[in-house]
Amino acid sequence: MTDQTLAQASDIAVWATMVVLTLAMLAFAGHLAVTGTRARDRSAAAPAQAGSMTSAGSADEAGSGSVAVLAPETPEPSAPNRRWGVIGLQLTWLATFGLIAGVALRGLSVGRAPLGNMYEFAIVAVMFTLIVYSAWSLRQDRLWLGLFITLPATLILAAAKLSWYTEASQLMPSLNSIWLVIHVTVATLSVALFTIGCALALLYLAKDRAETKGEVPHWLAALPSAPSLERITYGLHIVAFPLWTFTLIAGAIWAEQAWGRYWGWDPKEVWTFVIWVVYAAYLHARATSGWTARKATWLAVAGFGCIIINYAVVNIFFVGWHSYSGV
Amino acid sequence: MTDTRKAPPQTSAQIRQPRLGLVGWLRWMWRQLTSMRTALMLLMLLAVAAVPGSIWPQRSVDPVRVTEYLRENPTTGEWLDRFGFFDVYSSPWFAAIYLLLMISLVGCIVPRAGQHWRTLRAQPPRAPRNLHRLEAHTRTRVDAPPEAVLEAARRVLGRRRLRIRAAEEGRELEIAAEGGYLRETGNLVFHISLLAVIVSVAVGHLWGWRGEIIVPEGETFTSQAARFDTLEAGPWVDENSIQPFSLRLDRLDVEFETQAGGAQFGAPRLFEGQFTTTDAPGAPEQRQVLGVNNPLHFGSTSVFLLGNGYAPVVTVTDSDGRSLGTFTAPFLPQDDTYTSTGAIKVPAADPQLGFYGAFLPTFGGFDEAAGPISTFPDLMDPRLALGVYEGTLFPGGRPQSVYTLDTAQMEQVTTTDGDVSRILLAPGETIELPGGRGTVSFDGVVRWGGLVVRHDPGRVPVLISSIVLLGGLIAMLTVKRRRVFVRVTDQGQATTDQGEATTDQGEGTADPGERHTGLTVAGLAKGSDPQLQDYLDALAEEITAAARTKDDA
Ligand code: HEM
């Protein structure tokens, strides 16, 4: 029933993805270093340039006669600026296809949706994260975000490979349902969006703090302004939140069919609910007067903390009906 | 998270308190309770309060583990129990939080619904005097007469489903419109459905019931309150109203993983029962398949297949070879390899006989500590290992579990050498009991299915309100509430863009074909709306295009 050749091919694809992602990560880091330094130089240079222009003028008046020195240091066209970022993005696209192949091969090897154990959840969640980022960067310039996508993606893949790896195999009967595919697919998709959302939230918090303090480090200077980071963060969460709501509902439908009750306060259900409530609180906080965007954004980060707990802690350490980590 | 705990500012209110009087006090409390800040606090409290239920075992989920915990941690356990940590979701403090949240929700919904109702019937507000002061606005010039531009703007705004304020005297050259009322509607629908979900869940608790029963292959179960192994019923359930359907388990198919290694080896793979059912006594029989994720339905009652195991079939005879009965005794699996324990009770023997022990689907020898063990869950090499007891089976007539033997008034039977008598049987084997007590034959094994029968009148309402809730949520988060203002200025044949300063210019008299019109489109959004400017630019473009085509036609 389980095709081991395909399963091995899947493993190789996942390893290859990790290598490519690591390279992408380095390229994106290079991108931030280059553009960040530029952005800082530009803002730092603005007053200085004004000064140098007057001095150049006076030099001219003095009749030094030299023309060449007057050629202003115009910022180069932005293309070479972005070179590293574009390389990173192309590598990320490559990694995305690699991981899609890895997931597809895994699915083919067992003849079912590859959503049956923790290892499979992890690689599918990373796959969705990469797909969302890649698709997004086709429409908007998101090079500055690349490092903060590829870094967690690589870490999660490594953790999945090293500690959650499960041999390809068939499902337990209770997992054999169309609602499993629906529920878990949407759950992993929303976890992917929340992952990007959390990365953005942390970047916003860092940038906002740096801007308030007045010292923006290089890598942060390459990012959009704090208010626009905050808007992007919120924009991502209002997509992810309805998806999570759907996850909750679909999970309840499935639990009803499999176990005869739609809600039983099983640890996994508790945490799914807690996550939902925390993110609802985030959206609320943002609309509540007296709550700053910063305080509200911390709630989004807390929500992601709950996702990590739900995923990594509840699956392994808590006893419940959802004991299918396969570890 | 630390600063989120900050309570709403009470100090300033406390200063005002003495002069409030009772009514004022109540009003103040109501306003506090229904404020967004309090709702937010309660939401966060709810999240925090739900967590202990995932850390400590819960009676509603796994009562055995609660008892175990209490035995292992007597002191902390007792304190935790006192504060309801083993019944978190029915504890008073958890209830307090969600009840307060519900009240807050009602207090929030009612005034907002009223306000929204009035807004829906009111006109959009007038355009402000200076459109260019609005955060988002766009200006352009159209080669068409003002009336044509206004007409085009009305059409474009109408096509985008914005509501347009009726024309007023003195404001002929401007349009005020508003759209996206669905956002607020969605918000109200979402919060109301949230209440509906909670109420439906409560209905399910009050009028719902859940029974559990083990049915061996070949046996028939008829649904009646007294026939269940366990029955949990809500406080308002009438146990006589349980629908008396019946079902016979003809065959149970179970398969286990034999290929994959590691933790997956021996994991269940297929699990399906063939049943013959009737809806009521005397009704026609039907053949139906019941599997995991595939429940059977009898009216509003559903039957789920949740467990499985083995029931050894054993025949016991007395010393004269007369049969004392053939017993199909379900044994309960204790681990993933289905090492199962159970009891066989022979009340017809004199003195009464009881057997207690283990069934091993794939016998793997004896473990020093655990006794006989099974190495695989399927029937590869089955054995039945039993100890024999003699005495009174049901001391005092007390009810007892069919899976264990109450040995308070029984003694273990010994062999002639004085050893404790132990029986190890393969299917088809018969063994003589010591002291001429008769024989025990292990005839064979059948499987049993563990059924859960559930009646939940809140189920469908919960589903419907959750779907409505999701719809409301999507509407509230995607629809943008926007006000759009359009103002045109007749610029005659002048080429300079005079903007809004020229609003007061009289109606032009020049040839319509050559007239220019200044067009300003400005907007306001509720909440953050990064796309507002793009939206206005698109509107301006559409209006320009529409005015031109009209003009050409
Ligand atoms: C029971 C738990 C509740 C949940 C899960 C919940 C959830 C939500 C969510 C997800 C939003 C969307 C926020 C956004 O537009 O980004 C929202 C908005 C809102 N909620 Fe709640 N809510 C709850 C209770 C309440 C209560 C008790 C109140 C009243 C005090 C309330 C008042 C509001 C208001 C006024 C908005 C609109 C904010 C806006 O216009 O942006 N909610 N709620």
Rounded average pLDDT over B4-17: 46
Contact present, B44 and A278 (Cβ < 8 Å)? yes
Give B356-390 as a DSSP string.
EEEEESBEEEEETTTEEEES-SSSSB-EEEEEEEE
Ligand 1 binding pocket includes B328 (Cβ within 6 Å): no
CA of A284 to the centre of ligand 1 (A): 5
- Cβ atoms within 10 Å, residue B237: 18
Rounded average pLDDT over A161-183: 74
User: What is the sign of the dihedral through the CA atoms of B535, B540, B542 and B543?
Assistant: positive
DSSP state of B294: B
Query: A265 — contact with chain B (CB < 8 Å)?
Result: yes
Q: Which of residues 458-477 of B touch A (CB under 8 A)?
A: 459, 462-463, 466-467, 469-470, 473-474, 477
DSSP SS3 for B143: coil
**Confidence check: pLDDT of A68 > 50:** no
Give the confidence band of A87 by pLDDT, cuts at 50, 70, 90.
Answer: very high
**Confidence check: pLDDT of A41 > 80:** no
pLDDT at A216: 82
pLDDT at B512: 45
Ligand 1 binding pocket includes B108 (Cβ within 6 Å): yes
Q: Return d(Cα A183, Cα A94) in angstroms, integer.
A: 28
More confident residue, B207 or B496: B207
Place of tokens 């009087």: B21
Of all atoms in ligand 1, which is nearest to the CA of residue B194?
1
Cα of first residue to Cα of last residue in chain A, in angstroms, is 21
Contact present, B180 and B479 (Cβ < 8 Å)? yes
* Model confidence pLDDT, tens digit, residues B387-408: 999 998 888 777 778 888 888 8
**CA dist A103 → A108, A124, A204, B243, B262 (Å):** 9, 7, 32, 47, 21
Q: Which of residues 293-332 of B touch A (CB under 8 A)?
A: 293-295, 302, 304, 306
Amino acid (one-letter) located at A205: L
Q: How many CA atoms lie within 13 A of A88 on its CB side?
A: 29
Partners of B490 in the β-ladder? B517
Q: Return d(Cα B459, Cα B258) in angstroms, integer.
A: 38
Tokens of B139: 């200006």
Query: B7 — contact with chain A (CB < 8 Å)?
Result: no
**Confidence check: pLDDT of B324 > 90:** yes
Q: Return d(Cα A264, Cα B98) in angstroms, integer.
A: 17
Give the confidence band of B65 by pLDDT, cuts at 50, 70, 90.
Answer: confident
Of the partner residues B44, B58, B293, the one whose CB lies closest to the CB of residue A281: B44
**Confidence check: pLDDT of B85 > 50:** yes
**Confidence check: pLDDT of A208 > 70:** yes
Q: Return d(Cα B363, Cα B187) in angstroms, integer.
A: 62
DSSP SS3 for B432: strand
DSSP SS3 for B343: strand
CB contact set of B534 (below 8 Å; sequence gap of 6+): none
pLDDT at A176: 66
Strands B422-425 and B296-298: unpaired
Rounded average pLDDT over A276-295: 93
CB contact under 8 A, B201 and A291: no
How many angstroms from the chain centroid is the CA of residue B164? 43
Backbone angles phi, psi at A303, to 5 degrees: -60, -40
Partners of B360 in the β-ladder? B383
How many angstroms from the chain centroid is the CA of residue A231? 16
Of the partner residues A166, A245, A271, the one whose CB lies closest to the CB of residue B54: A271
pLDDT at A175: 64
pLDDT at A54: 37
Among A171, A226, A180, smallest CA distance to A204 is for A226
Ligand 1 binding pocket includes B41 (Cβ within 6 Å): no
Query: A119 — contact with chain B (CB < 8 Å)?
Result: no
pLDDT at B360: 94
Rounded average pLDDT over A234-246: 96
Among B292, B308, B287, smallest CA distance to B379 is for B308
CB contact set of B150 (below 8 Å; sequence gap of 6+): B172, B173, B175, B486, B488
Q: Which of residues 193-212 of A touch B (CB under 8 A)?
A: none
More confident residue, A66 or B355: B355
pLDDT at A69: 37
Contact present, B458 and B208 (Cβ < 8 Å)? yes
Tokens of B1: 């998270």
Contacts of B477 in chain A (CB under 8 A): 238, 241-242
Of the partner residues A173, A245, A260, the one whose CB lies closest to the CB of residue B302: A260
Q: Return d(Cα B6, Cα A253) in angstroms, integer.
A: 38
CB contact set of A115 (below 8 Å; sequence gap of 6+): A121, A124, A180, A181, A184, A185, A188
Rounded average pLDDT over B186-212: 94
Ligand 1 binding pocket includes B374 (Cβ within 6 Å): no
CA of A11 to the centre of ligand 1 (A): 44
What integer best gives the mean pLDDT of chain B? 86
**Confidence check: pLDDT of B336 > 90:** no
Ligand 1 binding pocket includes B191 (Cβ within 6 Å): yes
Contact present, B450 and B305 (Cβ < 8 Å)? yes
Give the confidence band of B501 by pLDDT, cuts at 50, 70, 90.
Answer: very low
Contact present, B269 and B257 (Cβ < 8 Å)? yes
Give every strand in the sheet of B286-291, ordered side by side.
B220-222, B246-256, B268-278, B286-291
What integer best gives the mean pLDDT of chain A? 83
DSSP SS3 for B553: coil
pLDDT at B514: 61
pLDDT at B528: 76
**Confidence check: pLDDT of A144 > 80:** yes
Q: Return d(Cα B517, Cα B537) in angstroms, integer.
A: 17
Ligand 1 binding pocket includes B39 (Cβ within 6 Å): yes
Rounded average pLDDT over A296-321: 83
Contact present, B89 and A261 (Cβ < 8 Å)? no
**Confidence check: pLDDT of B140 > 70:** yes
pLDDT at B497: 43
Q: Which of residues 202-241 of B touch A (CB under 8 A)?
A: 210
The residue whose CA has the least distance to atom 35 of ligand 1 is B36
Q: Which of residues 290-319 of A touch B (CB under 8 A)?
A: 290-291, 295, 298-299, 302, 306, 314, 318-319
- Determine the CATH number of domain B124-180+480-552: 3.30.310.80
DSSP state of B414: B
Rounded average pLDDT over A177-188: 88
More confident residue, B503 or B159: B159
Measure the CA angle with vertex A92, ends A87 and A97; round to 5°.
Answer: 130
**Confidence check: pLDDT of A73 > 70:** no
Task: Say what percent of chain B tops pLDDT 70.
Answer: 91
CA of B1 to the centre of ligand 1 (A): 20
Tokens of A18: 């990790």
Give B505-530 as a DSSP string.
PPPP-S-GGG--EEEEEEEEESS--T
**The complex's ipTM?**
0.85
More confident residue, B512 or A26: A26
DSSP state of B254: E
User: If 0-12 CB within 10 Å is exposed, 13-18 middle and 19+ buried, where does residue B157 land?
Assistant: buried
**Confidence check: pLDDT of B182 > 50:** yes
Query: B418 — contact with chain A (CB < 8 Å)?
Result: no
> For chain B, what are the domain ranges?
23-118, 124-180+480-552, 209-256+267-455
Query: A259 — contact with chain B (CB < 8 Å)?
Result: yes
Backbone angles phi, psi at B246, to 5 degrees: -135, 155
User: If 0-12 CB within 10 Å is exposed, 13-18 middle and 19+ buried, where does residue B175 land?
Assistant: buried
Query: A244 — contact with chain B (CB < 8 Å)?
Result: no
CA trace torsion A143, A145, A148, A150 (10° rounding): -40
pLDDT at B551: 54
CB contact under 8 A, A260 and B469: no
CB contact set of B479 (below 8 Å; sequence gap of 6+): B180, B182, B183, B186
Amino acid (one-letter) located at A84: W
Give the confidence band of A67 by pLDDT, cuts at 50, 70, 90.
Answer: very low
Give the confidence band of B31 by pLDDT, cuts at 50, 70, 90.
Answer: confident
pLDDT at B508: 42
pLDDT at B146: 87
CB contact under 8 A, B470 and A246: yes
pLDDT at B503: 40
Tokens of B453: 């029968």
* Model confidence pLDDT, tens digit, residues B471-480: 999 999 999 9
Q: Return d(Cα B67, Cα B47) in angstroms, integer.
A: 26
